[in-house]
A and B are shown apart, each in its own frame.
Chain A
Amino acid sequence: MVLSVAEKSYLYDSLASQPLIRPDGRLHTQFRPIEIFTDFLPSSNGSSRIIASDGSECIVSIKSKVVDHTVETDLLQVDINIAGERDDSMIVETLTSLLHKVLTSEDGIDVKKLQLTKKYSFKIFVDVLIISTYSYPASLISMGIYCALNSTWLPKIISAFDDLEVAELPTFHDYDLVKLDVKSPLIFVLAIVGDNIFLDPASNESEVANNGLIITWSPQGGKVISPVKTIALNDTFIKGFNPILLKKGIKLVEENASSVAQALETL
């Protein structure tokens, strides 16, 4: 969205005022409505499609493979595609690196739940396709992954757990599936305007933000985990902010994240 200088100035003043006034009337903790469909890709183990009210749309597919975890230690792999962007573009590589860190974070996904036997584990491939995006899509993607993993069913193992004595590959039941029980961390994007900080900035709000924060929250233990970092949501309004706002932002996420997770859980 291209805003004129006057529009930007008006928007900035209203977002920086006390209390803040958002252009769509939301509270500072309020998300835009989203629509989610799950388990609709027949050839994937799990899938989700998530559409934001501004038309941003993202599809996540979960696939799995049995690997020897003594050789392959990385049991989660994220691949991100954005329509119209090259694979080596800044936004794609940055998001891939961020999502990889989020999923492999120490307090992120419990990889023990992927273990099949003493030697073999499931490796999870998360493929993300962003069809259209208008604001920074990290939060949308993480919700998509959360829902997709929540709807993932994996083949049921019928061979023995202890395979060290007999060198045997795990064998699976022909049609019985087991629900994957992992919860992926959620990413929250916050925008800072003046001395205000608020959740889920829309594209017009991002354009006048003085700075942004990416905060990761893990449903396990319900706490904020790394990675946490600042992000430049535009390149004109960007400047430094009061250290107190960092603390405020983390608190904001801690207070509201569980209700977001709950909403996604009811699907």
Chain B
Amino acid sequence: MNVQDRRRLLGPSAAKPIVFTTVTSETTKVSEQEQQEQKQNETAALTIKSGVVENCNGSTLIESSKFSLLTSVYGPKSIRGSFTSQGTITIQLKNGVVENYQTTELKEVSSWLVGIFNSVVNLENYPKSGIDIFVNLIIDKQGDISKLIPFLIMGICLALVDGGIEIIDIVTGGEVNGNVVSFTRNGEEIVGFWKDHGEFDNNDDDLMNDLEKCKKQYLEYKNLMINYLLEQKKQKDNS
């Protein structure tokens, strides 16, 4: 595996990446407080834009002060090989400007996301087709994938809508204390649960509490998405 990549210009092999020393100033504590305050009005600062990428079937850009995610959907396109009775979804996550995550971690998340979208996309309608989804985490200032997952799901879902691919429900999720829960059917069903770090609440009530909070976030985001889609439709009808 450790073969020199001769396809790309890699520069001198002896070079070491730049490593910053940690700052030991008091400002760090202040910013943590600020971060918590910011979290409360996070939904307000979200901007959604569809159809930004020309050379694909559907795309969405979701931005906030902390991240910028670009999702593009290619397909449904015919796949090589034998006949399959339903469509195949692949999802690829890519590091953006700052390489925050290891590729193994991104692959784990993307295979988990495939699980969610396999249950949401109406795959029977797309026999012998592939739907390839690419998500570029252009900017991510948090460095915690769990916090990003609800928006990854949101972005993919809206990009699928933009690409005219049939889905059975609007799907998104919420994140509380490292628990990420993705819901459908107005919060009656879970399609995905993710927790990869942090304390696990063994106390049943705490877990149910977090689930309840995630559900609240989910409903909030879902409303946002539906409003956006309706607004977009209105604009299209007008023009």
Residues of A within 8 A of B (CB): 87-88, 90, 93-94, 96-98, 100-101, 105-106, 211, 213, 223-232, 235-236, 238-243, 245-247, 250-251, 254
Contacts and interface: CB of A to CB of B under 8 A. Distances in A.
Contact of B114 (A93, A96, A232): A232
Contact of B202 (A105, A224, A238): A224
B104 interface: yes
Contact of A94 (B108, B194, B208): B108
Contacts of A226: 178, 195-200
Given A97-B108, A223-B202, A232 B193 contact: no
- Looking at chain B's contact residues, the main secondary structure is mixed
A170 B207 CA distance: 46
A230 B200 contact: no
A133 B111 CA distance: 19
Given A93-B107, A93-B108, A225-B200, A246 B114 contact: no
B152 to A, nearest CB: 14
Given A93-B107, A226-B200, A240-B190, 9 more contacts: A94-B108, A229-B112, A229-B192, A230-B193, A231-B112, A232-B111, A240-B188, A242-B188, A247-B204
Contact of B196 (A101, A231, A232, A238): A101
A185 to B, nearest CB: 11
B104 A97 contact: yes
Contacts of A88: 1
Nearest to B169: A240
Q: How large is the interface on B (under 10, 10 to 19, 20 to 34, 35 or more residues)?
A: 35 or more
A206 to B, nearest CB: 13
A229 B195 contact: yes
Interface of B: 1, 86, 88, 102-105, 107-108, 111-112, 114-115, 118-119, 123, 178, 183-185, 188-200, 202, 204, 207-208, 211
A224 B201 CA distance: 8
B190 A228 contact: no
Given A230-B115, A236-B86, A223 B200 contact: yes
A249 to B, nearest CB: 10
B215 to A, nearest CB: 8
Contacts of B197: 101, 105-106, 226-227
A173 to B, nearest CB: 35
7 contacts: A211-B191, A226-B199, A227-B194, A227-B196, A229-B194, A229-B195, A240-B119
A246 B115 CA distance: 16
B1 to A, nearest CB: 6
Contacts of B211: 243, 246
Contact of A224 (B115, B183, B200): B200
A235 B208 CA distance: 28
Given A98-B108, A229-B196, A231-B112, A240 B1 contact: no
Nearest to A250: B207
A254 B200 CA distance: 13
Nearest to B104: A97
A18 B111 CA distance: 31
A87 B3 CA distance: 13
A121 to B, nearest CB: 22
A20 B121 CA distance: 29
Contacts of A211: 115, 119, 191
B119 A238 contact: yes
